[in-house]
Amino acid sequence: MEAAEFRRRGKEMVDLIADYLENIEQRPVYPDVEPGYLRSLIPEEAPEEPDTYEDVVKDIERVIMPGVTHWHSPYFYAYFPTANSFPAMLADMLSGAIGCIGFSWAASPACTELETVMMDWLGKMLKLPEDFIAGTHGQGGGVIQGTASEATLVALLAARSRAVRMILASDPQRPETGITSKLVAYSSDQAHCSVERAGMIAGVRMKKIPTEQSDKYAVQGETLRRMIQEDKAAGLIPFYFCATLGTTPSCAFDHITELGPICNAEKIWMHIDAAYAGSSFICPEFRPLLNGIEFADSFNFNPHKWLLVNFDCSTMWVRKRSDLIGAFKMDPLYLKHDHQESGRYFYTDNSLFRSLKMWFVFRMYGLKGLQDYIRKHVELAKEFESLVRADQRFEISADVVLGLVCFRLKGSNEVNETLLKRINNGRKIHLVPCQLSGQFVLRFAVCARTTESRHIREAWRLITQLAEEVMQDVTKLKVRM
Ligand code: PLP
């Protein structure tokens, strides 16, 4: 394809995208296909001779769309949101065209510099402590990762490296393997599974801290303190704690104002995973949820979840860049350049120009536009919560703080599982469950940029209609027995 055709096809593609997104709610949100559906629709091998562009585009509706779960449909309420906005998509096009890989300043100065400055902009929007802002002379700063899972792992590896260095400094004869085999990390039993997996990848023990419904599923300082004391008494070395702000099951918030000082006193690296909830901290009314950040060594959240920056863009800040640089520094000759000395950049990842998406979105929405967007989602979640609370057959299973509502029919887990199955089989709306205190709970997360009150009311109409049917079936079964 030459530039002249690209101009034409590019405009057609923009139309196709706009049509898709404008009409998305007419499509069933969840696909009606069986595993392996796609293989039979396309050849076993890549074409020897080139296909035409028209043929490729025709296959979007024939091959791809039948198997797409439409995350940007206003009827999508599963998982947590994934961001999508036109400015971010346009920036992604430009990023693809520039196509640089920003592993060092010299690899593309604008790429690394914009990333550092955008991380400062965002850090200031969140009112992060000064320690986390790079500026021109700061010791800390931010770097974009692909996912929150990566950020958790990067923090864990940096913490492991720091712990080993600290112990060797006071006991140089101690064998390194003897240290790593004693290391122990902690996270909540509500933490995302990526935290446990990070422990597996890093080859360190990861202990889950139990939480209780009565404490709103938040890790309590006393519980962490007790586990640390027990582990130290057993000869283990506590070195890392991953706190969660906005857990995946119920959007619970660990008490970092209480947990942070314990970690600091024990020289334990505290990482904060706020993958979903982090975006809300740009609103002054939600910022108190981040109080205690001043005790953290690293903090991460996903603008690609809730801040209108398309995947992938997971922002991670550290108090001391040297902790990351020290852990992962590689120095081959081909990466050396004339401006090495500044040490301002600490890219651990071969990213495309991801900061361009942030720059476009932040400028075109402004802080106010982004705050309005977050507030609207929270209001929609509160509207859904009110509908649930007004229906005696249902109960709310966890506090609704942001855009997630956890709810269930009063009754058995089986009844709720049947309800969810029928909801998803209908393909009009899509939800996923979670388990809270042994109960099967339905999660309703406001996700799409275009969700309005009418979608929420329509979703509730469908849910209650199906609930009525499920309850009638249960009654019939009981009568028969
Ligand atoms: N942490 C939390 C609290 C999450 O809710 C999620 C995903 O929803 C993740 C981590 C994983 O995020 P990612 O897919 O960016 O790795």
Tens digits of residue pLDDT in 259-278: 999 999 999 999 999 999 99
Compute the C-alpha angle 464/444/460, nearest 5°: 25
Percent of residues, the chain, with pLDDT higher than 70: 96
Residue 178 has pLDDT above 90, yes or no: no
The pLDDT of 112-135, averaged and rounded, is: 94
Nearest CA to 207 among 232, 227, 221, 235? 227
149 CA distance to ligand 1 middle (Å) = 6
Predicted confidence at residue 322, as pLDDT, reads 82
Give 218-244 pLDDT, tens digit per residue: 999 999 999 999 999 999 999 999 999
DSSP track, 178-197: HHHTTEEEEEETTS-HHHHH
pLDDT band at residue 339 under the 50/70/90 scheme: low
Compute the C-alpha angle 334/335/336, nearest 5°: 95
313 CA distance to ligand 1 middle (Å) = 12
Q: Which two tokens stand for residue 276?
A: 């979903």
CB of 248 shorter than 6 A to ligand 1: yes
Compute the C-alpha angle 111/116/119, nearest 5°: 120
Say whether 124 sits in a helix, a strand or coil: helix
The pLDDT of 418-423, averaged and rounded, is: 96
Weakest-pLDDT range from 161-165, 279-283, 405-409: 161-165
Residue of 481 and 311 predicted with greater confidence: 311
pLDDT band at residue 172 under the 50/70/90 scheme: confident
CB-based burial, 209-218: b 16+ in 10 Å, e otherwise: bebeeeeebb
Q: Report the distance separating Cα 384 and Cα 291, nearest Å.
A: 28
Predicted confidence at residue 344, as pLDDT, reads 44
CB of 244 shorter than 6 A to ligand 1: yes
Q: Report the distance separating Cα 117 and Cα 125, nearest Å.
A: 12
Q: Report the distance separating Cα 89 and Cα 323, nearest Å.
A: 34
Predicted confidence at residue 30, as pLDDT, reads 96
Backbone angles phi, psi at 413, to 5 degrees: -65, -40
Predicted confidence at residue 112, as pLDDT, reads 86
Backbone angles phi, psi at 242, to 5 degrees: -100, 110
Nearest CA to 296 among 347, 338, 245? 245
Alpha helix stretches (DSSP H) within 266-389 = 303-306, 321-328, 355-389
- Is 238 in contact with 268 (CB distance < 8 Å)? yes
Residue 307 has pLDDT above 80, yes or no: yes
28 CA distance to ligand 1 middle (Å) = 26
Weakest-pLDDT range from 74-78, 210-214, 386-390: 210-214
Residue 320 has pLDDT above 50, yes or no: yes
In one-letter notation, the amino acid at residue 244 is T
Among 101-110, 114-123, 173-182, name the most confident range: 114-123
pLDDT band at residue 478 under the 50/70/90 scheme: confident
Rounded (10°) CA dihedral 285, 290, 293, 297: -140
Q: Which two tokens stand for residue 250?
A: 């119920």
Q: Report the distance separating Cα 245 and Cα 188, nearest Å.
A: 11
Q: Report the distance separating Cα 461 and Cα 179, nearest Å.
A: 58
Percent of residues, the chain, with pLDDT higher than 90: 81
CB of 192 shorter than 6 A to ligand 1: yes
119 CA distance to ligand 1 middle (Å) = 19
CB of 418 shorter than 6 A to ligand 1: no
194 CA distance to ligand 1 middle (Å) = 7
Residue 435 has pLDDT above 80, yes or no: yes
- Average pLDDT, whole number, for the chain? 92
The pLDDT of 96-123, averaged and rounded, is: 89
Element of type H or E holding 315: strand 314-318
Predicted confidence at residue 141, as pLDDT, reads 87
Say whether 329 sits in a helix, a strand or coil: coil
Report the nearest atom of ligand 1 relative to the CA of 247.
3
- Is 361 in contact with 91 (CB distance < 8 Å)? yes
CB of 315 shorter than 6 A to ligand 1: no
Nearest CA to 219 among 185, 247, 197, 239? 247
pLDDT band at residue 336 under the 50/70/90 scheme: confident
Q: Report the distance separating Cα 144 and Cα 97, nearest Å.
A: 20
Report the nearest atom of ligand 1 relative to the CA of 79.
8
Helix axes 355-389, 109-125, angle to 10 degrees: 30
Residue of 180 and 20 predicted with greater confidence: 20
CB of 254 shorter than 6 A to ligand 1: no
